[in-house]
Amino acid sequence: MNILLDALPLNRITTGVSRYVRNLYLELEKLSGVNVNYFSGRSCDTTMPLEIEASHWIKKTAKTRSLPAPALFGLHSVGWMSYERRLRRYAKFNEFDVYHETGHIPAAIKGVPQIFTIYDLSLMKYRETHPRARVWFSDVFFNRRMKYATHIITISEFVRSEICDELHIDREEVTSIPLAPCPFFFPREKEQAGAVIESMGLPKEYILFVGTLEPRKNLSLLFKALSVCEHDIPIVLSGWKGWGDHMEFKPNRTNRFQNRIFTTGHVNEEALACLYSSALALVFPSIYEGFGLPVIEAMACGCPVICSNAASLPEVAGDAALLIDPFRKEDLAEAMDRVAGDKALREDLARKGLSRAAGFSWEETARQTLEVFRSVTGQS
Protein backbone atom coordinates (compact mmCIF):
# COMPACT_ATOMS: atom_id res chain seq x y z
CA MET A 1 0.00 0.00 0.00
CA ASN A 2 1.70 3.18 -1.24
CA ILE A 3 0.06 6.14 0.53
CA LEU A 4 0.40 9.80 -0.39
CA LEU A 5 -0.50 11.94 2.63
CA ASP A 6 -1.33 15.61 3.06
CA ALA A 7 1.24 16.25 5.78
CA LEU A 8 0.44 19.95 6.26
CA PRO A 9 -1.24 19.33 9.66
CA LEU A 10 2.06 17.94 10.93
CA ASN A 11 3.64 21.37 10.39
CA ARG A 12 1.26 22.97 12.88
CA ILE A 13 0.96 23.10 16.64
CA THR A 14 -0.07 19.80 18.25
CA THR A 15 -3.82 20.03 18.66
CA GLY A 16 -6.63 17.68 17.60
CA VAL A 17 -6.00 17.35 13.84
CA SER A 18 -2.22 17.19 14.03
CA ARG A 19 -2.43 14.72 16.91
CA TYR A 20 -4.75 12.54 14.80
CA VAL A 21 -2.43 12.53 11.78
CA ARG A 22 0.74 11.92 13.75
CA ASN A 23 -0.59 9.10 15.93
CA LEU A 24 -2.43 7.44 13.05
CA TYR A 25 0.62 7.39 10.80
CA LEU A 26 3.01 6.33 13.54
CA GLU A 27 0.90 3.18 13.75
CA LEU A 28 0.31 2.79 10.00
CA GLU A 29 4.07 2.83 9.42
CA LYS A 30 4.36 -0.25 11.65
CA LEU A 31 2.01 -2.31 9.47
CA SER A 32 3.43 -4.68 6.90
CA GLY A 33 3.55 -3.44 3.32
CA VAL A 34 2.65 0.17 4.14
CA ASN A 35 4.75 2.93 2.57
CA VAL A 36 3.90 6.54 3.47
CA ASN A 37 4.88 9.60 1.44
CA TYR A 38 4.56 12.84 3.43
CA PHE A 39 3.70 15.67 1.03
CA SER A 40 4.26 19.15 2.46
CA GLY A 41 3.15 21.12 -0.58
CA ARG A 42 6.69 21.74 -1.76
CA SER A 43 8.43 18.44 -1.19
CA CYS A 44 7.70 14.84 -0.33
CA ASP A 45 9.54 12.70 2.17
CA THR A 46 9.29 9.10 3.32
CA THR A 47 9.94 10.05 6.94
CA MET A 48 7.45 11.79 9.19
CA PRO A 49 8.17 15.49 9.88
CA LEU A 50 9.38 16.24 13.39
CA GLU A 51 7.08 18.12 15.75
CA ILE A 52 7.49 21.87 15.37
CA GLU A 53 8.53 24.31 18.06
CA ALA A 54 5.21 25.53 19.46
CA SER A 55 6.09 29.07 20.57
CA HIS A 56 7.51 30.02 17.15
CA TRP A 57 4.41 28.69 15.38
CA ILE A 58 2.07 30.53 17.77
CA LYS A 59 3.87 33.85 17.20
CA LYS A 60 3.86 33.38 13.44
CA THR A 61 0.16 32.47 13.42
CA ALA A 62 -0.75 35.44 15.62
CA LYS A 63 0.87 37.80 13.10
CA THR A 64 -0.98 36.20 10.20
CA ARG A 65 -4.33 36.30 11.98
CA SER A 66 -3.94 40.00 12.63
CA LEU A 67 -4.53 40.59 8.91
CA PRO A 68 -8.01 41.64 7.72
CA ALA A 69 -10.38 38.77 6.91
CA PRO A 70 -10.38 39.43 3.11
CA ALA A 71 -6.57 39.29 3.05
CA LEU A 72 -6.51 36.07 5.06
CA PHE A 73 -9.09 34.51 2.77
CA GLY A 74 -7.05 35.50 -0.29
CA LEU A 75 -3.80 34.14 1.13
CA HIS A 76 -5.42 30.88 2.16
CA SER A 77 -7.12 30.44 -1.21
CA VAL A 78 -3.99 31.13 -3.24
CA GLY A 79 -1.96 28.88 -0.96
CA TRP A 80 -4.42 26.02 -1.29
CA MET A 81 -4.62 26.19 -5.08
CA SER A 82 -0.83 26.27 -5.22
CA TYR A 83 -0.74 23.18 -3.00
CA GLU A 84 -3.18 21.39 -5.32
CA ARG A 85 -1.16 22.28 -8.40
CA ARG A 86 2.05 20.87 -6.91
CA LEU A 87 0.18 17.82 -5.62
CA ARG A 88 -1.17 16.98 -9.08
CA ARG A 89 2.28 17.38 -10.62
CA TYR A 90 3.88 15.12 -8.01
CA ALA A 91 1.16 12.44 -8.26
CA LYS A 92 1.40 12.43 -12.06
CA PHE A 93 5.01 11.30 -12.06
CA ASN A 94 4.77 8.85 -9.14
CA GLU A 95 2.61 5.82 -8.47
CA PHE A 96 0.37 5.87 -5.42
CA ASP A 97 -2.45 3.57 -4.37
CA VAL A 98 -4.31 6.22 -2.40
CA TYR A 99 -4.16 9.89 -1.42
CA HIS A 100 -5.24 10.74 2.13
CA GLU A 101 -6.47 14.31 2.61
CA THR A 102 -6.25 15.24 6.29
CA GLY A 103 -7.00 18.95 6.03
CA HIS A 104 -10.47 20.48 5.90
CA ILE A 105 -11.02 20.49 2.10
CA PRO A 106 -10.63 17.66 -0.45
CA ALA A 107 -7.90 18.32 -2.97
CA ALA A 108 -8.63 18.72 -6.68
CA ILE A 109 -6.74 15.64 -7.82
CA LYS A 110 -7.65 12.83 -10.22
CA GLY A 111 -6.01 9.56 -11.13
CA VAL A 112 -5.58 8.35 -7.55
CA PRO A 113 -8.39 7.45 -5.08
CA GLN A 114 -8.76 10.14 -2.43
CA ILE A 115 -9.75 9.34 1.14
CA PHE A 116 -10.95 12.48 2.88
CA THR A 117 -11.13 12.72 6.68
CA ILE A 118 -13.95 14.95 7.96
CA TYR A 119 -13.58 15.81 11.65
CA ASP A 120 -16.88 17.64 12.08
CA LEU A 121 -19.36 19.93 10.30
CA SER A 122 -18.89 22.93 12.55
CA LEU A 123 -18.12 25.21 9.59
CA MET A 124 -21.62 24.47 8.35
CA LYS A 125 -23.56 24.17 11.59
CA TYR A 126 -21.75 26.64 13.87
CA ARG A 127 -20.39 29.21 11.46
CA GLU A 128 -20.40 31.95 14.09
CA THR A 129 -17.79 30.06 16.12
CA HIS A 130 -15.17 30.32 13.36
CA PRO A 131 -13.21 33.29 11.95
CA ARG A 132 -14.84 34.86 8.89
CA ALA A 133 -11.94 34.05 6.55
CA ARG A 134 -12.16 30.36 7.46
CA VAL A 135 -15.91 30.32 6.82
CA TRP A 136 -15.49 32.07 3.45
CA PHE A 137 -12.80 29.59 2.42
CA SER A 138 -15.06 26.66 3.28
CA ASP A 139 -18.00 28.23 1.44
CA VAL A 140 -15.96 28.63 -1.74
CA PHE A 141 -14.05 25.36 -1.79
CA PHE A 142 -15.80 22.64 0.20
CA ASN A 143 -18.70 21.73 -2.09
CA ARG A 144 -16.63 22.32 -5.22
CA ARG A 145 -14.00 19.84 -4.03
CA MET A 146 -16.25 17.12 -2.58
CA LYS A 147 -16.58 15.46 -6.00
CA TYR A 148 -12.90 14.52 -5.81
CA ALA A 149 -13.36 12.46 -2.61
CA THR A 150 -13.64 8.72 -3.27
CA HIS A 151 -14.48 7.80 0.31
CA ILE A 152 -14.90 9.65 3.59
CA ILE A 153 -13.49 8.71 6.98
CA THR A 154 -14.86 10.44 10.05
CA ILE A 155 -14.14 10.13 13.76
CA SER A 156 -17.49 9.30 15.39
CA GLU A 157 -20.83 7.78 14.51
CA PHE A 158 -22.39 11.13 15.41
CA VAL A 159 -20.46 12.93 12.67
CA ARG A 160 -21.04 10.05 10.25
CA SER A 161 -24.80 10.53 10.63
CA GLU A 162 -24.44 14.28 10.18
CA ILE A 163 -22.38 13.85 7.01
CA CYS A 164 -24.93 11.48 5.49
CA ASP A 165 -27.87 13.72 6.41
CA GLU A 166 -26.39 17.15 5.72
CA LEU A 167 -24.29 16.30 2.66
CA HIS A 168 -26.70 13.67 1.26
CA ILE A 169 -24.06 10.97 1.06
CA ASP A 170 -24.81 7.25 1.23
CA ARG A 171 -23.77 5.60 4.49
CA GLU A 172 -21.66 3.07 2.58
CA GLU A 173 -19.44 5.93 1.41
CA VAL A 174 -18.64 7.09 4.96
CA THR A 175 -16.69 5.11 7.57
CA SER A 176 -16.51 6.03 11.24
CA ILE A 177 -13.20 5.25 12.94
CA PRO A 178 -12.73 6.57 16.50
CA LEU A 179 -9.64 8.31 17.79
CA ALA A 180 -7.68 7.25 20.86
CA PRO A 181 -5.52 8.69 23.63
CA CYS A 182 -1.85 8.96 22.75
CA PRO A 183 0.12 6.23 24.59
CA PHE A 184 1.93 9.08 26.32
CA PHE A 185 -1.19 9.76 28.42
CA PHE A 186 -1.23 7.63 31.55
CA PRO A 187 -1.49 8.47 35.29
CA ARG A 188 1.57 10.24 36.64
CA GLU A 189 2.82 9.66 40.18
CA LYS A 190 1.58 12.26 42.67
CA GLU A 191 5.05 13.57 43.47
CA GLN A 192 6.09 13.80 39.81
CA ALA A 193 2.92 15.59 38.75
CA GLY A 194 2.97 17.83 41.82
CA ALA A 195 6.46 19.07 41.02
CA VAL A 196 5.38 20.03 37.49
CA ILE A 197 2.24 21.77 38.76
CA GLU A 198 4.27 23.72 41.33
CA SER A 199 6.82 24.76 38.70
CA MET A 200 3.96 26.22 36.63
CA GLY A 201 2.75 28.32 39.55
CA LEU A 202 -0.60 26.54 39.75
CA PRO A 203 -2.67 25.69 42.83
CA LYS A 204 -2.53 22.17 44.26
CA GLU A 205 -6.25 21.63 43.74
CA TYR A 206 -8.02 22.76 40.59
CA ILE A 207 -10.51 21.84 37.90
CA LEU A 208 -8.96 21.68 34.43
CA PHE A 209 -10.05 22.73 30.96
CA VAL A 210 -7.96 21.60 27.94
CA GLY A 211 -8.43 22.87 24.42
CA THR A 212 -7.99 25.82 22.10
CA LEU A 213 -9.47 28.95 23.68
CA GLU A 214 -12.14 29.86 21.15
CA PRO A 215 -15.93 30.34 21.07
CA ARG A 216 -16.93 26.76 20.20
CA LYS A 217 -15.44 25.50 23.46
CA ASN A 218 -18.18 27.32 25.39
CA LEU A 219 -15.95 28.72 28.11
CA SER A 220 -18.49 31.45 28.78
CA LEU A 221 -20.66 28.75 30.39
CA LEU A 222 -17.77 27.78 32.64
CA PHE A 223 -17.36 31.35 33.89
CA LYS A 224 -21.10 31.67 34.47
CA ALA A 225 -21.07 28.41 36.41
CA LEU A 226 -18.23 29.66 38.58
CA SER A 227 -20.43 32.52 39.75
CA VAL A 228 -22.96 30.09 41.26
CA CYS A 229 -20.65 27.30 42.48
CA GLU A 230 -20.66 26.56 46.19
CA HIS A 231 -17.02 25.46 46.19
CA ASP A 232 -14.27 28.00 45.61
CA ILE A 233 -12.18 25.71 43.40
CA PRO A 234 -9.72 27.37 40.98
CA ILE A 235 -9.93 26.71 37.24
CA VAL A 236 -6.88 26.04 35.06
CA LEU A 237 -7.26 26.70 31.32
CA SER A 238 -4.65 24.89 29.22
CA GLY A 239 -4.44 25.58 25.50
CA TRP A 240 -3.35 28.22 23.04
CA LYS A 241 -5.56 31.21 22.21
CA GLY A 242 -7.06 30.25 18.88
CA TRP A 243 -9.14 33.27 17.93
CA GLY A 244 -11.51 35.82 19.43
CA ASP A 245 -10.92 38.84 21.66
CA HIS A 246 -10.31 36.64 24.75
CA MET A 247 -11.58 39.31 27.13
CA GLU A 248 -13.23 36.61 29.23
CA PHE A 249 -9.88 34.88 29.74
CA LYS A 250 -8.42 37.90 31.54
CA PRO A 251 -9.70 37.73 35.11
CA ASN A 252 -7.36 40.49 36.28
CA ARG A 253 -9.62 43.02 34.51
CA THR A 254 -12.13 42.37 37.27
CA ASN A 255 -11.99 41.16 40.85
CA ARG A 256 -14.84 38.75 40.21
CA PHE A 257 -12.66 35.70 39.55
CA GLN A 258 -9.35 36.98 40.84
CA ASN A 259 -7.09 34.13 42.03
CA ARG A 260 -9.55 31.57 40.67
CA ILE A 261 -8.62 31.38 36.97
CA PHE A 262 -5.17 30.37 35.74
CA THR A 263 -3.98 29.98 32.15
CA THR A 264 -0.99 27.93 31.01
CA GLY A 265 -0.99 28.53 27.28
CA HIS A 266 0.09 25.60 25.12
CA VAL A 267 2.07 22.98 27.08
CA ASN A 268 4.03 19.92 26.04
CA GLU A 269 2.65 16.41 26.44
CA GLU A 270 4.49 15.64 29.68
CA ALA A 271 3.14 18.79 31.33
CA LEU A 272 -0.33 18.06 29.97
CA ALA A 273 -0.30 14.51 31.35
CA CYS A 274 0.69 15.94 34.73
CA LEU A 275 -2.12 18.50 34.54
CA TYR A 276 -4.63 15.73 33.85
CA SER A 277 -3.20 13.49 36.58
CA SER A 278 -3.37 16.20 39.27
CA ALA A 279 -6.75 17.75 38.45
CA LEU A 280 -9.87 17.15 40.52
CA ALA A 281 -11.63 16.84 37.17
CA LEU A 282 -11.54 17.85 33.54
CA VAL A 283 -14.42 20.11 32.57
CA PHE A 284 -15.25 20.13 28.86
CA PRO A 285 -18.44 22.13 28.18
CA SER A 286 -18.04 22.33 24.39
CA ILE A 287 -21.24 22.82 22.41
CA TYR A 288 -19.99 20.79 19.45
CA GLU A 289 -17.20 18.25 18.95
CA GLY A 290 -16.47 15.67 16.30
CA PHE A 291 -14.82 13.48 18.94
CA GLY A 292 -13.35 15.39 21.91
CA LEU A 293 -9.82 14.06 22.45
CA PRO A 294 -9.30 15.79 25.84
CA VAL A 295 -12.12 13.69 27.29
CA ILE A 296 -10.44 10.37 26.49
CA GLU A 297 -6.94 11.72 27.26
CA ALA A 298 -8.07 12.79 30.72
CA MET A 299 -9.65 9.40 31.34
CA ALA A 300 -6.41 7.68 30.31
CA CYS A 301 -4.65 9.72 33.01
CA GLY A 302 -7.18 8.77 35.69
CA CYS A 303 -8.79 12.21 35.70
CA PRO A 304 -12.56 12.41 36.38
CA VAL A 305 -14.47 14.04 33.51
CA ILE A 306 -17.38 16.47 33.33
CA CYS A 307 -18.47 17.08 29.74
CA SER A 308 -21.39 18.20 27.61
CA ASN A 309 -24.20 15.87 26.64
CA ALA A 310 -23.98 17.34 23.13
CA ALA A 311 -22.74 16.09 19.75
CA SER A 312 -20.21 13.23 19.90
CA LEU A 313 -19.30 13.59 23.57
CA PRO A 314 -21.82 11.09 25.05
CA GLU A 315 -20.62 8.56 22.46
CA VAL A 316 -17.01 9.04 23.51
CA ALA A 317 -17.53 9.33 27.27
CA GLY A 318 -20.04 6.51 27.67
CA ASP A 319 -21.01 6.09 31.33
CA ALA A 320 -17.58 7.19 32.56
CA ALA A 321 -18.30 10.94 32.86
CA LEU A 322 -20.79 13.36 34.38
CA LEU A 323 -22.77 14.78 31.44
CA ILE A 324 -24.17 18.30 31.59
CA ASP A 325 -26.39 20.52 29.45
CA PRO A 326 -23.97 22.92 27.71
CA PHE A 327 -26.55 25.71 27.90
CA ARG A 328 -27.33 25.51 31.64
CA LYS A 329 -24.81 27.03 34.02
CA GLU A 330 -26.62 25.39 36.95
CA ASP A 331 -25.92 21.93 35.52
CA LEU A 332 -22.22 22.61 35.23
CA ALA A 333 -21.99 24.28 38.64
CA GLU A 334 -23.74 21.33 40.29
CA ALA A 335 -21.41 18.84 38.59
CA MET A 336 -18.30 20.77 39.64
CA ASP A 337 -19.56 21.03 43.22
CA ARG A 338 -20.27 17.29 43.31
CA VAL A 339 -16.82 16.37 42.05
CA ALA A 340 -15.03 18.89 44.26
CA GLY A 341 -16.80 17.71 47.41
CA ASP A 342 -17.00 13.95 46.91
CA LYS A 343 -13.75 11.96 46.87
CA ALA A 344 -15.60 8.67 46.39
CA LEU A 345 -17.28 10.05 43.26
CA ARG A 346 -13.92 11.19 41.89
CA GLU A 347 -12.44 7.75 42.49
CA ASP A 348 -15.41 6.06 40.82
CA LEU A 349 -15.20 8.34 37.76
CA ALA A 350 -11.43 7.84 37.54
CA ARG A 351 -11.83 4.05 37.64
CA LYS A 352 -14.56 4.08 34.99
CA GLY A 353 -12.54 6.49 32.87
CA LEU A 354 -9.43 4.33 32.87
CA SER A 355 -11.54 1.38 31.75
CA ARG A 356 -13.25 3.46 29.06
CA ALA A 357 -9.98 4.85 27.69
CA ALA A 358 -8.50 1.36 27.47
CA GLY A 359 -11.12 0.53 24.84
CA PHE A 360 -9.58 2.99 22.37
CA SER A 361 -6.20 2.48 20.69
CA TRP A 362 -4.31 4.04 17.80
CA GLU A 363 -3.30 0.54 16.70
CA GLU A 364 -6.97 -0.28 16.10
CA THR A 365 -7.59 3.12 14.46
CA ALA A 366 -4.70 2.43 12.06
CA ARG A 367 -5.91 -1.11 11.32
CA GLN A 368 -9.42 0.09 10.45
CA THR A 369 -8.03 2.96 8.37
CA LEU A 370 -5.87 0.58 6.35
CA GLU A 371 -8.94 -1.61 5.80
CA VAL A 372 -10.69 1.39 4.23
CA PHE A 373 -7.68 2.12 2.01
CA ARG A 374 -7.56 -1.50 0.85
CA SER A 375 -11.31 -1.63 0.22
CA VAL A 376 -11.26 1.53 -1.87
CA THR A 377 -8.27 0.39 -3.92
CA GLY A 378 -9.49 -3.20 -4.32
CA GLN A 379 -6.63 -4.71 -2.36
CA SER A 380 -7.30 -7.70 -0.11
* 304 within 8 A of 353, measured Cβ to Cβ: yes
Domain contains 246? yes
What residues make up the domain containing 71?
A: 2-180+361-377
Question: Based on the domain organization, do 77 and 172 belong to the same domain?
Answer: yes
Number of domains in the chain: 2
Reported as a single tens digit per residue, the pLDDT across 232-290 is: 899 999 988 765 554 455 544 445 666 789 999 889 999 999 999 999 999 999 999 99
Question: Based on the domain organization, do 138 and 216 belong to the same domain?
Answer: no
- To the nearest whole number, what is the mean pLDDT of the chain? 92
Question: Based on the domain organization, do 209 and 168 belong to the same domain?
Answer: no
Q: At residue 5, does pLDDT exceed 50?
A: yes
Question: Based on the domain organization, do 96 and 74 belong to the same domain?
Answer: yes
Amino acid 246: pLDDT: 46
Dihedrals phi, psi of 181, to nearest 5 degrees: -75, 140
The amino acid at 181:
P
- Indicate which CATH number applies to the domain containing 101: 3.40.50.2000
Task: Identify the H or E element spanning 5.
Answer: strand 2-6
Question: Based on the domain organization, do 119 and 212 belong to the same domain?
Answer: no
Question: Based on the domain organization, do 326 and 341 belong to the same domain?
Answer: yes
Amino acid 243: pLDDT: 59
Question: Based on the domain organization, do 308 and 325 belong to the same domain?
Answer: yes
Question: Based on the domain organization, do 204 and 74 belong to the same domain?
Answer: no
Reported as a single tens digit per residue, the pLDDT across 290-303 is: 999 999 999 999 99
Domain contains 274? yes
Question: Based on the domain organization, do 238 and 365 belong to the same domain?
Answer: no
Task: Identify the H or E element spanning 116.
Answer: strand 114-118
| Mean pLDDT along residues 47-75 | 82
Reported as a single tens digit per residue, the pLDDT across 47-58 is: 999 887 767 666
Question: Based on the domain organization, do 237 and 135 belong to the same domain?
Answer: no
Question: Based on the domain organization, do 226 and 268 belong to the same domain?
Answer: yes
Q: At residue 380, does pLDDT exceed 70?
A: no
Domain contains 185? no
Helix ranges (H only) for 93-218 are 122-125, 132-145, 157-167, 190-199
Question: Based on the domain organization, do 298 and 161 belong to the same domain?
Answer: no
* 83 within 8 A of 8, measured Cβ to Cβ: yes
Reported as a single tens digit per residue, the pLDDT across 77-88 is: 999 999 999 999
Task: Identify the H or E element spanning 323.
Answer: strand 322-324
